Amino acid sequence: MDPAGAWWDLSLIASPAQEDLIFWRLENFGCRGMTSQAHGEDQICIHAYLPWPHVSLLDLAALSLRLQQDALIAGQRVPKLRWERIEAEDWSSSWKQHWQPQPIGDKLLICPAWLDPPPHPGRHLLRLDPGMAFGTGTHPTTQLCLESLEMRLEGGGGAEGVTVADVGCGSGILSLAAALLGVKRVFAVDIDPLAVQATMHNRDLNGLTDPIVVAQGSLEHIPEMVDGLVCNILADVILDMIPEFRLVVKEGGWLILSGILIEQAKLVAEMLEANEWVVAALWRRGEWCCLNARMT
């Protein structure tokens, strides 16, 4: 067995109040396939996965210390972190055990592709197999984007004839949601070939081959001007792209931006305003926020 194909399986027991901060800490550490579920009455269990060659036992010990410090500063119970090495063929089946169907907003039901969906009257079923790409719907930033998309497309002028760009598409979850909510076309782009592969797989899984166009790259690979743009990455990356958003979004268009910590929101809003956008709404969940902007 090639050790380069092995993974670290991380598991944490923590209080629900710590979930957002732990997700942020794990994501910045390089984790993938993060999920959370209830563990007893007042605890959650978080699972995350790391490519084995990328970190050492010393790195994991340092991560554990950071998580302890985060909890103590926040006045929360210190989470219990455990890790073990698993082989490549066990990775996908291992984390899938911890992810269940999840309703989001009023119109969407995210369901793992390998499970039978529960009854979902009035909701669009979104089947998802993220593979090694980011985006299962469990992270607050993804949920904020999905809810913002629903409000925009269901109650803010409708979805008919609308075109959308999904920049940093990950698993394709935002593209799928936009298509299920009725937009005419979605252009999904990501610099990561694994994300492109995952988005194409999920597009086909949901029978959305016609409305979703997928390409490897970034803003320059969006083939036409769009009505709206969604981007759930990290604030530093968003800040670099803001000056170019007007090159791909039509006059009167809109933005939905997440992956932004609350303390970063002011800086992102100022950059938007400097580039002739106005923040119309800020939605918050825990330590994260989502900015909804429109052209001035």
| Residue reference for tokens 């001035």 | 296
CA torsion, ordered 13, 18, 23, 28, to nearest 10 deg? -110
Q: At residue 138, does pLDDT exceed 70? A: yes
Residue 94 pLDDT greater than 70, yes or no:
no
Closest to 166 (Cα-Cα) out of 149, 143, 147: 149
The pLDDT value given to residue 133: 55
Identity of the highest mean pLDDT range in 56-60, 191-195, 277-281: 277-281
- Residue 26 tokens, joined: 């794990």
pLDDT number for residue 3:
43
Mean pLDDT highest for which of 129-133, 151-155, 250-254?
Answer: 250-254
Which amino acid, one-letter code, is at 295? Answer: M
Residue with tokens 């009035």: 122
How far is Cα 13 from Cα 237, in angstroms, rounded to an integer? 31
* 241 or 40, greater pLDDT: 241
Residue 266 has pLDDT above 80, yes or no: yes
Residue 23: which region, alpha, beta or left (left: phi > 0; alpha: psi -120 to 50)?
Answer: alpha
Average pLDDT of 229-257? Answer: 95
Round to whole Å and give the CA distance between 144 and 291: 9
Contact 201, 134 (CB under 8 A): no
230 forms beta bridges with 166, 256
DSSP string of 77-134, one letter each residue: PPPEEEEEEE-HHHHHHHHHTT---EEETTTEEEEETTSPPPP-TTSEEEEE--TTSS
Can you give the pLDDT at residue 96? 66
In the chain, % of residues over pLDDT 70: 92
For residues 167-186, b (16+ Cβ closer than 10 Å) or e, as one string?
A: bbbbbbbbbbbbbbbebebb
- 234 or 111: which carries more pLDDT confidence? 111
**Which residue type does 213 have?**
V
Tokens of 66: 């950071």
Strand 277-285: give its sheet, edge to edge.
212-216, 185-190, 163-167, 226-232, 249-261, 288-295, 277-285
Contact assessment for residue 195 and residue 219, using Cβ atoms and an 8 Å cutoff: no
User: Residue 52's CB: how many other CB atoms inside 10 A?
Assistant: 19
Report the DSSP beta bridge partners of residue 126. Answer: 110
The whole-number pLDDT of residue 76 equals 87
User: What is the model's pLDDT at position 2?
Assistant: 39
Q: Which helix (H) or strand (E) holds 178?
A: helix 173-180
Query: Contact, 49 vs 91, CB < 8 A?
Result: yes
**Chain-centre distance of CA 75, in angstroms?**
27
What's the pTM value of the predicted model, to 2 decimals?
0.73
pLDDT in tens, 143-194: 999 999 999 998 766 899 999 999 999 889 999 999 999 999 999 999 888 8
Torsion (CA) 171, 174, 178, 184 in degrees, nearest 10: -60
Confidence at residue 214, expressed as pLDDT on a 0 to 100 scale: 98
- 190 near 183, Cβ under 8 Å? no
User: Over the chain, what is the mean pLDDT?
Assistant: 88
Least confident of 188-197, 212-221, 249-258: 188-197
Report the pLDDT value the prediction gives residue 33, as an integer from 0 to 100: 72
Confidence class for position 97, pLDDT limits 50, 70, 90: low
**Domains parsed from the chain with CATH numbers:** 3-96 (3.30.70.260), 102-295 (3.40.50.150)
**pLDDT the model gives residue 54:** 74
